[in-house]
A and B are shown apart, each in its own frame.
Chain A
Amino acid sequence: MTTDTDVPALVEMRGITIAFPGVLALDGVDFFLRPGEVHSLMGENGAGKSTLIKALTGVYTIDSGTISIAGERRSFESTADAQQAGISTVYQEVNLCTNLSVGENVMLGHEPSGTFGIDWKGVHEAARGHLTSLGLDLDTRSSLQSHSIAIQQLVAIARAMVLDAKVLILDEPTSSLDRGEVEQLFAVIRDLKDKGVAILFVSHFLDQVYEISDRITVLRNGALVGEHLVEDLPRDALVTEMIGRELSDLAALSSVADREIDRSGDPVLRARGLGRKGVLDPADIDAFEGEVVGIAGLLGSGRTELVRLLYGADRADSGTIEIDGQAAKIHSPRQAMAHRMALSSENRRAEGVVADLTVAENMILGLQAQRGWLKPVPKAERDQIVGEYMDALGVRPADPDVPIGNLSGGNQQKVLIARWLATQPELLILDEPTRGIDVGAKADIQRKVAELSAKGLSVIFISSELEEVLRIAQRVVVMRDRRRVGELDSSAVDLDGLIDYIAHAEEGSVSR
């Protein structure tokens, strides 16, 4: 009975409070993790999950509250302190040395030594032992970067075992894994659980949470909502606890995709044969007024490359672009903006947020850049724009003067969408706007897209979640292996049909 409440907790966090300038990230949160359980931490973006994990791993120091490991009071000043206490973390982005070998990564800092320094043979033998105990058969001398992210994550877990971790934290470990890889990861997790390791699991995938967890703790707005055994918490109850309201929003959107689009006139955007050698085979795409055009395809299929060429973020070396029927030259983002285009990049951190600037400054950055430095956006106009979008998109915390870096991913995304809407585009390109963000923020963003397109905005919408594409796009362009393979009417195809098309469609079989 590993999930018995009476088992003394291995990790006890009580009254954890952490404040950032302008944000109370955690407000007196209690969290208990018992040996031999998988405990999921759930909550929307900005609920405080990451902050709680960072408190436990020594990244942040807590402002008040206590942390005890195995009944002993601890205060972590650094991640090394936390590792000393037996806490290991495997992050979404693997933090290993990808240029070293598998064996070196597993044993890093714990290499057995021989007569002449490190005993490399011993290193690889020991590493193989740890990997085998996780059911992994790998060449330990191969370089880590030659393996998939899934394997790299399992190697990270093996490394945690070398550190003799009693507590293993898995922060979004499955976000880039396919189904088979997830199964492999889960087998390892169950094995560790049987060995008495306490596992803290964070994921946005509800199916996986229900499949693997014994217990669920829900956070909302930095506060504890509740701790439940997984069998006591039906899904709708979980979602309601997470977002604090009933979730009927997504269903209401289903009608959007069926909306009739008038395609008789000139399209807002018409691109013909747009391509770049080695990046994208020449591709066509149109977007009409009030239309949402989805782009579907796997990661690396050329989706992002296509929109970057459209927007002038990369130079195209073939093809033509027409805006409202007029030929247009777009060689830079500035020129694209002059043609009333906007692109929200898939890479929020590297190409979106300007971390040290405030939410308000981030929101008006695009508009300000358009006007030039000599014409600062007047304070009244700025307050009005910021107020309007904070409200319309539900940005939390609702304080425009905190640095955007203090916001959660979902809220940063809303601010970036606001940045582009403030430039009043006629064509809005959204590349993975809902990746890695929670249900509530996702619904907010989808609703906003539907609402704006109904008012005449053209939208190009890229998402790895095909349900989402089918729900809000009227037409779906399908990409594979860096070329456009076809185009589908989303009312004429269901999810399985779309998946089948992505996997099998041959060029030329374009159905319009």
Chain B
Amino acid sequence: MTLLKHRLFWPAAALVTLLAVNMIANPSFARISLRDGQLYGALIDILRQSAPLMLVALGMTIVIATRGIDLSVGAIMAVSGAVALTIIDGAGDANSWGTVMLAIGIAVLVALVLGAWNGLLVSVLGIQPIIATLVLMLAGRGAALLITDGFITTVNSSPLSYIASGYLLILPFAFFVWLAAVVVVGLVERRTALGMLTEAVGINPEASRLAGVRSRGIIWTAYILSGVLAGIAGVIYAANIKAADANAAGYLIELYAILAVVLGGTSLMGGKFSIAGTVIGVLTVQALESTILFLGVPPAQSPVFFAVVVVIVVLVQSPRVHRWGRLLGSRFGSSGGDGKMPPVATPEKQKEVVR
């Protein structure tokens, strides 16, 4: 019963059910093989492919907690990928780790500046978050195209290949990237007071202001974090396709990130947020993508399939649906006992109460 009431129960149940359906439909889904000390399998692929969405959704979680939204994450991914690959392309040795690290560092720095720009519009100038971030959502891809001169910059670089598909110990490197981000953000939010203050600002900005909370700084920080994480996501995406594609990088990822955050139980109204919930939400979205491939859903039908499953998952998590479920249960399950009520008030009984 207490397990049922845990806020992550339904998100986790949805993920487990989705994985179970896959395994029943095709038992090879669950197969994990060890080759050359490295694990392979559909489940491992999900962990690896989650990286860009996980990073973006992590930042989105904190932004949403402040009552905001960040629509520009996809565009920031495009910019960061373009910056990183243009630098590597222009450098002498694309296989040098030093060059690649420098390029990534600059790309993430640019993403930080873009996040700060969003934060400035929202927290200092007081522009509605959806409009403030729409500016960059539209302008960002244009900037990325400028950086790549309108071409798709392709790069062959062994360090980038390692980031995309390399292994650390027995698991994919990309998995460790998002795991590290989740752990760092989780620790910063929950071991310092930042998480609580962020929630306070999201729930009641005026009460927080009167209590002396620096809400401006807190909101700004959230957008900067979102920008930085989208920047890292952009590098990983570019590494995956070995190219900076300003139009395709992070296309619609803002919407998938919002979906993952909501699936994880964080309300779009702001306030209480759950990082563990977002992790579950992202894995659910990613597992669903894999399901479409794994079950061989034809490409023309896959958006509809995706949408139907999302609707089912959302319904399963809805408190109102739970209540209807309980009502149906009590109506059919115990109709005999429930119908018999104690005898209706007799005058004597009422007098007892009156004394």
**Which residues of A are in contact with B by a Cβ distance under 8 Å?**
5-6, 8-9, 12, 14, 21, 30, 32, 61, 66, 68, 71, 73, 77, 224, 226-229, 311, 313, 333-334, 337, 343, 345, 350-357, 361, 365-366, 368-377, 419
Contacts and interface: CB of A to CB of B under 8 A. Distances in A.
B196 interface: yes
Interface string B178-192: 000000000000011
Interface string B318-355: 00000100010000000000000110110100110111
Nearest to B210: A333
Residue of B196, B206, B347 with most chain A CB atoms under a 10 A cut-off: B196
A71 B207 CA distance: 47
A71 B212 contact: no
Nearest to A77: B327
Contact of A228 (B200, B209, B341, B354): B354
Given A357-B196, A357-B199, A376-B192, A345 B210 contact: yes
Interface string B209-222: 11111100010000
A77 B327 CA distance: 10
Contacts of B102: none
B206 A337 contact: no
Given A5-B354, A356-B271, A377 B210 contact: no
A334 B214 contact: yes
29 contacts: A5-B347, A6-B347, A9-B350, A14-B342, A32-B345, A228-B354, A311-B210, A313-B209, A333-B209, A333-B211, A337-B212, A343-B210, A350-B206, A352-B207, A354-B199, A354-B200, A354-B204, A356-B203, A357-B196, A357-B203, A361-B200, A365-B196, A366-B211, A368-B193, A371-B193, A372-B193, A372-B214, A373-B193, A377-B193
B192 A374 contact: yes
A352 B213 CA distance: 13
A350 B207 contact: yes
A12 B345 contact: yes
Nearest to A72: B344
B197 interface: yes
B272 interface: yes
Given A354-B204, A372-B193, 20 more contacts: A12-B344, A227-B353, A228-B354, A228-B355, A229-B354, A311-B210, A313-B210, A333-B212, A334-B212, A350-B206, A350-B207, A351-B206, A353-B204, A353-B207, A354-B207, A357-B200, A357-B203, A361-B196, A365-B200, A376-B191
Contacts of B199: 354, 356-357
B100 to A, nearest CB: 33
B253 to A, nearest CB: 28
A303 B229 CA distance: 48
Give the secondary structure class of B's interface.
helix
Interface residues of B, number: 35
Nearest to B200: A354
B350 A365 contact: no
Contacts of B193: 368, 371-377
A227 B355 CA distance: 8
A154 to B, nearest CB: 32
B168 interface: no
Query: Can you list the 5 inter-chain pairs with the closest CB atoms, starting with the nearest?
Result: A369-B212, A376-B193, A369-B213, A373-B194, A337-B212
Nearest to B346: A8
Contacts of A333: 209-212
Nearest to A405: B203
A313 B199 CA distance: 21
B64 to A, nearest CB: 14
Nearest to B221: A373
B211 A365 contact: yes
A357 B272 CA distance: 8
A215 B215 CA distance: 50
Contacts of B5: 21
A377 B193 CA distance: 8
Nearest to B194: A373
B335 to A, nearest CB: 14
Contact of A370 (B192, B212, B323, B354): B212
A365 B203 contact: no
A61 B323 contact: yes
Residue of A32, A352, A354 with most chain B CB atoms under a 10 A cut-off: A354
Interface string B73-94: 0000000000000000000000
B161 interface: no
A354 B210 contact: no
